[in-house]
């Protein structure tokens, strides 16, 4: 099976209202500490980090 090439991109704008790019970036860097800096984050990584941050904030009843 061929491994799919993942293209790296710049950080996209957050789609979750109330979340800033900086907050998502910080959470992504904490989540993917082992991956960085050798392998830049992909779009899937950014989306996963944003979803994880949003669900964590929602579960803790913290303001976004």
pLDDT score of 54: 93
pLDDT, the chain, mean: 84
- Closest to 13 (Cα-Cα) out of 24, 5, 3, 2: 24
pLDDT score of 35: 81
pLDDT score of 6: 59
pLDDT score of 1: 43
Residue with tokens 């996963």: 48
Residues in the chain: 64
Burial of 57: CB neighbours in 10 Å, binned 0-12, 13-18, 19+: middle
Residue range 13-61, pLDDT digits in tens: 999 988 999 999 999 999 998 887 778 889 999 999 999 999 998 887 7
Q: Any residues with CB less than 8 A from the CB of 42 and at least 6 apart, and which?
A: 6, 7, 8, 9
């Amino acid at each position: 099976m061929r491994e799919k090439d993942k293209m790296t991109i710049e950080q996209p704008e957050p789609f979750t209202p109330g979340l800033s790019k900086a907050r998502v970036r910080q959470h992504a860097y904490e989540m993917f500490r082992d991956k960085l800096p050798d392998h830049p984050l992909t779009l899937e990584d950014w989306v996963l980090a944003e979803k994880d941050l949003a669900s964590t904030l929602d579960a803790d009843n913290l303001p976004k």
